[in-house]
């Protein structure tokens, strides 16, 4: 997957197109991510010892192809390039400005 937990991403398709948020969870086996405040759904929850219950809103997973990583230096959503540093370490890089994203 081209994104990791904690990355700032922008949604590029769907009903939440244009929204930005950090990735809360990555689910590589299903190619899905959960992004904060994106794809909110309502769930009816029964009361238990630690929660009051009722109707709660929470984030649902979206497909990883519908998000792009936002570059920290140029502030644009970008596809991911891969570079090798002098010490041989592989890092993700911005396609626009070439800055390292890791």
Q: CB of 45 within 8 A of CB of 65? A: no
Q: Name the nearest CA neighbour of 101 among 12, 20, 85, 66.
A: 85
The domains located in the chain, with CATH, are: 1-70 (2.30.30.30), 73-102 (no CATH)
Token pair for residue 19? Answer: 């929204």
Query: Does pTM top 0.85 for this prediction?
Result: yes
Q: CB of 41 within 8 A of CB of 60? A: yes
DSSP string, 34-84: EETTSSEEEEEE---SS---EEEEEE--EEGGGEEEEPTTT--EE-EEEEE
Query: What is the pLDDT confidence band of residue 17, given thresholds at 50, 70 and 90?
Result: very high
- pLDDT per position as a tens digit, 21-56: 999 999 999 999 999 999 999 999 999 999 899 999
d(CA 57, CA 73): 33
């Amino acid at each position: 997957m081209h994104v990791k937990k904690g990355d700032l991403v922008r949604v590029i398709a769907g009903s939440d197109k244009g929204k930005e948020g950090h990735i809360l969870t990555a689910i590589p086996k299903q190619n899905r991510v959960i992004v904060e405040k994106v794809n909110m759904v309502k769930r009816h929850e029964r009361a238990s010892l630690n929660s009051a219950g009722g109707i709660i809103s929470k984030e649902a997973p979206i497909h990883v192809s519908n998000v792009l990583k936002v570059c920290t230096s140029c502030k644009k959503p970008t596809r991911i390039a891969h570079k090798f540093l002098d010490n041989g370490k592989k890092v993700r890089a911005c396609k626009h400005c070439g800055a390292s994203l890791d």
